[in-house]
Amino acid sequence: MKKFSIGELYRKPGFKAVLASLISIVIGLLVGAIVILVSGLTSKGLGGKTAWEGIQLIFGGLFSTGRNASGALTFGFNPQLMGNMLFRAMPLIMTGLSVALAQKTGLFNIGAPGQYLMGTAATLLIALYLPTGTGEKLQYVSGAWATHMEALGIVGQTTYPAWLVWTLAFMGGVLAGALWGAIPGMLKALLNINEVLACIMTNWIAANLVTWVFDIANLKNIVENTKMGYIYKTTFNGVQTSKLGLDKLLPGSQVSGGILIAILFAILVYIVMNKTTFGYELKACGSNRFAARYAGIRDKRSIVVSMALAGALAGAGAALYYLAGNTEFYWETSQSLPAVGFNGIPVALLAANNPIGVIFSGLFMSMLEICGQKLKDLTAFNEYITDVIIAVIVYLSAFAMLIRMLLNKKKASKEALK
Note whether 248 and 262 are same-domain residues: yes
Residue with the bigger pLDDT between 147 and 113: it is 113
Report angle CA 21, 340, 314 to the nearest 5 degrees. 95
What is the tens place of the pLDDT at every residue in 391-404?
787 777 766 666 56
Of all residues in the chain, what percent carry a pLDDT higher than 70? 84
Contact predicate 358/348, CB 8 Å: yes
Number of folded domains in the chain?
A: 2
Supply the pLDDT for residue 121.
95
Q: Which domain holds residue 49?
A: 17-77+380-418
Note whether 166 and 210 are same-domain residues: yes
356 part of a folded domain: yes
Please give the full DSSP string across 6-55, using - where no structure is assigned.
HHHHHTSHHHHHHHHHHHHHHHHHHHHHHHHHHHHHHSTTTHHHHHHHHH
Q: Is the pLDDT of residue 282 over 60?
A: yes
- Using CA atoms, how far apart are residues 126 and 399, in angstroms rounded to an integer? 43
Packing angle of the helix pair 339-350, 13-42 (nearest 10 deg): 120
Note whether 112 and 125 are same-domain residues: yes
Contact predicate 282/100, CB 8 Å: no
Supply the pLDDT for residue 376.
84
pTM comes to 0.87
Note whether 143 and 245 are same-domain residues: yes
Residue with the bigger pLDDT between 162 and 321: it is 321
- Using CA atoms, how far apart are residues 115 and 103, in angstroms rounded to an integer? 16
Contacts of 275 (CB under 8 A, 6+ apart): none
Note whether 99 and 45 are same-domain residues: no
What is the tens place of the pLDDT at every residue in 341-385?
989 998 998 888 899 999 999 999 999 889 888 888 888 887 777
- Phi, psi at 220, each rounded to 5°: -70, 145
Report angle CA 4, 8, 13 to the nearest 5 degrees. 130
49 part of a folded domain: yes
Note whether 341 and 401 are same-domain residues: no
Pick from 176-180, 216-220, 268-272, 300-304: least confident: 216-220
pLDDT band at residue 132 under the 50/70/90 scheme: confident
Supply the pLDDT for residue 267.
96
Note whether 55 and 118 are same-domain residues: no
What is the tens place of the pLDDT at every residue in 149-178?
555 555 545 678 888 999 999 999 999 999
Q: Is the pLDDT of residue 297 over 60?
A: yes
Q: Which of 101-105, 178-182, 231-235 has the highest mean pLDDT?
A: 178-182
